[in-house]
Chain A
């Protein structure tokens, strides 16, 4: 059967028009941010520099792509249409009349749709894992930096222990199909997912200790929501069946959190050691505030600048880590449309076909670049103050 092609120019037009929900959302959000940038504090200041605008633009682009993935992509990312095997970009699928915009891969799936759906996996796991790593790193880094002494020695030794592992070795040990038969990933998830609950409980407790009306509401919400998500994620026993995570995704998630929380720990510890010598900390100590109040309400807000910058860079780094996992075929399902897996599949066939390799590589690169540009301009803006 003969397959028709459309020209390169119409491929470009078609790709641009496929992303229409993204463009609309981008225009609305960017326009609104630009109009109200004076009132938006640090976020608004990003729109003062070209680098910042580009960074925010790229990040929002991929965010909206992930949100509207089902509208944008013309095909199911896992569907195979045998005629379209290894077809070049612009080939028209005979049955539906829709176009394989970036061609078909060796299993006859639409490369464009896979790239679009891949953004969903990356944009869920990378920020969420970074969030958990931040929680773990902050909750452990604050006391290590503030108290120093034995706590610091023990925690720093543990952090250095993890940091001394080459990431790739860690992944080969922690993300294997075999390890899911053992309780190790679940135990680690159980420990890591406890940290956000501890963090928010202590946060509210220290602040509203003397105002039970507020305290009970906030603590109640924290424990209820936290406990609900905890049950769903760690034990897969969510009574409402909303929170659910695949065992192999949990495994990846835990491994990524494990690999990146020592880095956060080190940064937080360093920041705390610097900030605790300031006068306002001494003032709080003289007032008789509890140590945890000082750590969470005096020191942490003043450490937020470098932490936000680090979080941006870290989401990018986590994306790279996810790609590495995909590239080595660890954890994610072999047919999963995420970018790393797609790069792995395509890079083996580079000699014969290059078109399946380029979309995921460029997608991954542009997303990380956007985050790095964002971090860079955030750093510059926070240095101005």
Chain B
């Protein structure tokens, strides 16, 4: 088990290295650098001034040197001030070094956000915290509801409950966040006026009034999928011999479902729920933009829209890390929950 986890962690590190390199490459394409230079300098700057800005801020160094600096394997060089000729900080609004130092991701320095004029860490981590609260609420709604639907549908295959719930869960998987978000806002905010169509005020304090719509929107897309997986797994378990044996021994139907079927039927959904995280990540971006909630997704869109290189790299590092770590947890957890695999 330990060697398996270690091997997986090794692959994970390699994947992250490759992915950050790809992201780094794509963000640093010539048109993107141009865009950054234009947004960072005054209006009506000439092409030469833009080029000067890029050179002065170290964007014209060799690709691998810059990637190494970001990673922390090479020392970050201070830039030379064109006026005085002395080495100075690259960006004054975050603590860039004035002497060559190793300060990259490996040293815990995520760099400098050009859009928000602050360090990436001070922008990214509060945003992650905000998204964490949202995710927690979503999971707290999504997991129990979807498991319940799946179990009720899969308990008696082909019954009317099963058919109604199955069609409902198919419908919910056909409703992406930007569709359900609009529909819910129309119903609950515009017509009924029960809920707030914006979650911007949730950064000050989360209330039922401003937080229900984002949570609901985000949960609905996942519910259908998890419920269907639970149903399939439940149906399979209910056809097993030991269920029939238990029934023949005279245990009530409810008792069989709760005591014998559930434990075995819930192994597969665990994996599915874990693998839902990458989808949730996309959903978070949509929902946070739609309801103006200042979290991770909002930061990602801002970073991408303004070509904020370090912030976008930080965001991709975080999201890739989440995707990979949930895959790892789902594999390890599956082995833990399923004794048949553990023995092998």
Contacts and interface: CB of A to CB of B under 8 A. Distances in A.
A369 B170 contact: yes
Contact of B31 (A166, A179, A328, A361): A179
Contacts of A354: 186, 190
A176 B34 CA distance: 13
Contacts of A163: 278, 323
Nearest to A371: B174
Contact of B170 (A167, A346, A372): A372
A361 B183 contact: yes
A174 interface: yes
Contact of A323 (B171, B178, B281, B301): B178
Given A164-B324, A182-B29, A182-B30, A350 B182 contact: yes
B23 interface: yes
A354 B174 CA distance: 21
B135 interface: no
A157 B31 CA distance: 30
A168 B312 CA distance: 12
A49 to B, nearest CB: 10
B238 to A, nearest CB: 16
A181 interface: yes
A369 B171 CA distance: 6
Nearest to B166: A376
A161 B197 CA distance: 37
Main secondary structure of the interface of A (DSSP, over half): helix
Nearest to B290: A347
B301 A328 contact: yes
A320 B282 CA distance: 12
B138 interface: no
Contacts of B178: 323-324, 327, 340, 343-344, 347, 361
A372 B171 CA distance: 8
A283 interface: no
B29 A178 contact: yes
Interface in A170-221: 172-174, 176-179, 181-182, 184
A173 B176 contact: no
Contacts of B300: 168-169, 172
A58 to B, nearest CB: 10
A347 B197 CA distance: 10
Interface residues of B, number: 49
A328 B305 CA distance: 10
A368 interface: yes
A161 B11 CA distance: 10
A297 interface: no
A206 B297 CA distance: 49
Nearest to B197: A350
A354 B170 CA distance: 26
A137 interface: no
A173 B23 contact: yes
A161 B186 contact: no
Interface stretch (B75-83, B89-97, B104-112, B314-322): B314-322
B285 interface: yes
Contacts of B15: 157, 160-161, 164
Nearest to A169: B316
A365 interface: yes
B185 A350 contact: yes
A166 B318 CA distance: 11
A176 B306 CA distance: 12
B77 to A, nearest CB: 27
Nearest to A364: B179
B176 A320 contact: yes
A176 B32 contact: yes
B19 interface: yes
Contact of B182 (A173, A178, A320, A346): A346
Interface in B167-206: 167, 170-171, 173-176, 178-179, 181-183, 185-186, 189-190, 197
Given A182-B29, A351-B190, A372 B282 contact: no
Contacts of A368: 174-176
Interface in A298-341: 316, 320, 323-324, 327-328, 340
**Most chain A beta carbons < 10 A, residue from B174, B181, B281, B289:** B174
Interface string B320-344: 1001100000000000000000000
Nearest to B29: A182
B319 A169 contact: yes
A165 interface: yes
Given A164-B15, A316-B174, 7 more contacts: A157-B15, A169-B304, A173-B27, A324-B178, A350-B189, A368-B176, A369-B174
Q: Which 6 A-B pairs rank lowest in CB-CB distance, beginning with the nearest?
A: A178-B31, A172-B304, A369-B174, A368-B174, A173-B26, A320-B176
